[in-house]
């Protein structure tokens, strides 16, 4: 008899906890934003960033990159001054280290860059034309061979045009003439038949003389059978000055038959940052992201770093900076929230209210849990859901939440839980880091889903052990 009373007491308490959970769910609390990489993946694109080996020694920064990005560009490690400092003497250690870190974070890698006028050793610049051509082909062949099968793309040639659309008068251009770019692409294709080959440049983000020149080059390459797969728009932009023709520019390259990527996005401002400048920067990030997301064939966006802590801007443009989505302390700026929302996420604050469901009766003796299901945001055909799990009166080490979608909805990608579906039935289990909950403590997992006619809230059940 005494035991029955005790059990009834636990049930009542769990029910009470369920009510508490409902109250919390309805409160306008801050929720963790979904990582950009997950939001991007749900849209069939990538979100990338650049980092150097040195920056990856900063464990908090490394973790931020692993959380937000599913594409990585080595900041300096695949450039000529690192990879072939002396003729025929190759050094792939630093580049390999970035690839290893990226692989560990389940990121793909953009190779950057094979032929550029900058960060190229003097021995290359001092070669006579005949030897320079051979050195270029040898460099490309060896480096592309080394990374064959490991990269998504190569920036084969970087920054070969001037602002007026004429060829930059670099040592490459002056010694080898117009043909060197096509030769570089042919050598890269010979060394790796599968990697995507990109031409990459800055101030080519909107329509203008420089992007026209790149457009005409790509068009003639395609007509002549020179292998080229993509155009990289670096997008080193200035607050308040995102080109209005960015989307149109991206579209015209895609219409030619190549893909486009935004490869080095940052948006600088005169420092110090103010709330007003940060707000403008946020809408600028959204505008740049929207331009890419609006065009099928714009495959991804890479920012040139994530945090102002490691941006190249202040050293090259004194008095300017604050160009990236996270500040010096790795805290998200308004630009991050805007970017997150542009990708269909919530930013740091949910934009719509949530709808809880009835907590279920605990099973399995003293170990129990309740769950509430919420639609965080919803758009045509898609939605982001969040399920909060709260332990009952005893600590639990594992939990399982199940539901059946009432309107044929489906789950496409999930974070902080592992999900198995069977028809409309969904079973979500904790991962190894979030199964353990103290009495009354909670955790949450999220997912992206699709819906058709209706997006009704399912009843959820939670069991714990
Ligand atoms: O300049 C920004 C980017 C423009 N587009 C091409 C990118 O490759 C370029 O990246 C930057 C790197 O982020 C910097 O880290 O390229 C710079 C060189 O043009 C890199 O800066 C250099 C410093 O100028 C050198 O003093 C330093 O030795 O990095 C070198 C290695 O740390």
In this predicted model, what pLDDT tens digit does every residue of 120-135 receive, in sequence order?
Answer: 999 999 999 999 999 9
pTM for the complete prediction? Answer: 0.73
Q: What is the mean pLDDT of residues 209-224?
A: 98
373 Cα: distance to centroid of ligand 1 (angstroms): 47
User: Could you tell which of 112, 306, 312 is best to mutate to test the pocket of ligand 1, judged by most ligand atoms within 8 Å of the CB?
Assistant: 312
The rounded distance, in Å, linking the Cα atoms of 285 and 273 is 15
Residue 357 has pLDDT above 60, yes or no: no
Residues of the chain with CATH 2.60.40.290: 369-464
What beta strand segments (E) does 215-330 contain? 230-233, 236-238, 259-270, 298-303, 320-321
CB atoms within 10 A of CB 451: 19
Whether residue 84 lies in the annotated active site: no
Maximal CA-CA distance, the chain: 98
pLDDT at 382 (0 to 100) = 81
152 Cα: distance to centroid of ligand 1 (angstroms): 21
Residue 26 has pLDDT above 90, yes or no: no
Using a 6 Å cutoff on CB, does residue 76 contact ligand 1? yes
Q: Minimum mean pLDDT among 5-19, 332-346, 404-418: which range?
A: 5-19
What torsion do the CA atoms of 283, 286, 287, 289 make, to the nearest 10 degrees? 160
pLDDT at 452 (0 to 100) = 86
Whether residue 264 lies in the annotated active site: yes
**Cα dist from 210 to 89, 147, 164, 227, 241, whole Å:** 35, 31, 6, 21, 17
Residues of the chain with CATH 3.20.20.80: 13-342
Q: What are phi and psi of 292, to 5 degrees?
A: -75, -45
CB contact set of 432 (below 8 Å; sequence gap of 6+): none
119 Cα: distance to centroid of ligand 1 (angstroms): 8
Using a 6 Å cutoff on CB, does residue 266 contact ligand 1? no
- The residue annotated as part of the active site, out of 84, 143, 259, 264, is 264
- 198 Ramachandran zone, left/alpha/beta (phi>0; psi -120 to 50): beta
By alpha-carbon position, which residue is closest to atom 7 of ligand 1? 75
Using a 6 Å cutoff on CB, does residue 7 contact ligand 1? no
Position 138 confidence tier, pLDDT thresholds 50, 70, 90:
very high
pLDDT at 324 (0 to 100) = 98
Which CATH topology does 13-342 take?
Answer: TIM Barrel (3.20.20)
- 289 Ramachandran zone, left/alpha/beta (phi>0; psi -120 to 50): alpha
By alpha-carbon position, which residue is closest to atom 1 of ligand 1? 312
Using a 6 Å cutoff on CB, does residue 201 contact ligand 1? no
Asked if residue 418 has a cis previous peptide bond (ω within 30° of 0), the answer is: no
Q: What is the mean pLDDT of residues 14-39?
A: 55
In 3-state terms, what secondary structure has residue 6? helix
Tell me whether strands 442-450 and 382-391 are parallel, antiparallel or unpaired: antiparallel
Tell me whether strands 259-270 and 230-233 are parallel, antiparallel or unpaired: parallel
Using a 6 Å cutoff on CB, does residue 119 contact ligand 1? yes
- The residue annotated as part of the active site, out of 159, 163, 259, 320, is 159
Query: Quick one: tokens of 137?
Result: 């082909």
Position 365 confidence tier, pLDDT thresholds 50, 70, 90:
low
Average pLDDT of the chain to the nearest whole number:
89
In this predicted model, what pLDDT tens digit does every residue of 406-426 receive, in sequence order?
Answer: 999 999 888 778 889 888 999
CATH number of 369-464: 2.60.40.290
Using a 6 Å cutoff on CB, does residue 337 contact ligand 1? no
């Amino acid at each position: 008899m005494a035991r029955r009373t005790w059990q009834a007491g636990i049930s009542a308490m769990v029910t009470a906890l369920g009510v508490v959970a409902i109250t919390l769910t309805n409160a306008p609390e801050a929720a963790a934003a979904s990582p950009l990489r997950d939001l991007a993946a749900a849209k069939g694109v990538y979100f990338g960033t650049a980092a150097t080996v040195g920056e990856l020694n900063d464990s908090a920064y490394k973790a931020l990159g692993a959380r937000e990005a599913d594409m990585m560009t080595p900041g300096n490690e695949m450039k000529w001054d690192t990879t072939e400092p002396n003729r025929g003497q190759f050094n792939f250690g630093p580049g390999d280290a970035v690839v290893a870190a990226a692989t560990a974070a389940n990121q793909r890698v953009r190779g950057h860059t094979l032929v550029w006028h900058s960060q190229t050793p003097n021995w290359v610049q001092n070669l006579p034309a005949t030897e320079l051509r051979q050195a270029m082909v040898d460099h490309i062949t060896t480096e592309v061979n080394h990374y064959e099968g490991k990269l998504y793309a190569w920036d084969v040639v970087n920054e070969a045009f001037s602002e007026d659309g004429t060829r930059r008068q670099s040592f490459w251009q002056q010694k080898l003439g117009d043909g060197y770019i096509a030769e570089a692409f042919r050598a890269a294709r010979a060394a790796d038949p599968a990697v995507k080959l990109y031409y990459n440049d800055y101030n080519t983000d909107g329509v203008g003389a420089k992007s026209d020149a790149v457009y005409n080059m790509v068009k003639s390459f395609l007509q002549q059978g020179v292998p080229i797969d993509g155009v990289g728009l670096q997008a080193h932009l200035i607050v308040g000055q995102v080109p209005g023709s960015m989307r149109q520019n991206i579209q015209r390259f895609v219409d030619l038959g190549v893909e486009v990527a935004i490869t080095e996005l940052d948006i600088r401002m005169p420092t110090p940052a103010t709330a007003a400048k940060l707000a403008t920067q946020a809408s600028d990030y959204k505008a740049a992201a929207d331009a890419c997301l609006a065009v099928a064939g714009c495959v991804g966006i890479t920012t040139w770093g994530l945090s102002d802590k490691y941006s190249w801007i202040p050293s090259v443009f004194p008095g300017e900076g604050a160009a990236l989505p996270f500040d010096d302390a790795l805290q998200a700026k308004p630009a991050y929230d805007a970017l997150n929302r542009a990708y269909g996420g919530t930013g740091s604050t949910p934009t719509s209210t949530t709808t809880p469901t009835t907590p279920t009766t605990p099973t399995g003796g003293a170990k129990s849990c309740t769950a509430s299901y919420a639609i965080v945001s919803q758009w045509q055909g898609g939605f982001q859901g969040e399920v909060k799990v709260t332990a009952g009166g005893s600590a639990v080490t594992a939990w399982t939440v199940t539901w059946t979608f009432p309107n044929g909805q489906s789950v496409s990608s999930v974070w902080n839980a592992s999900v198995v579906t069977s028809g409309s039935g969904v079973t979500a289990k904790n991962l190894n880091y979030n199964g353990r909950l103290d009495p009354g403590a909670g955790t949450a997992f999220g997912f992206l889903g699709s819906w058709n006619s209706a997006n009704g809230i399912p009843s959820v059940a939670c069991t714990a052990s």
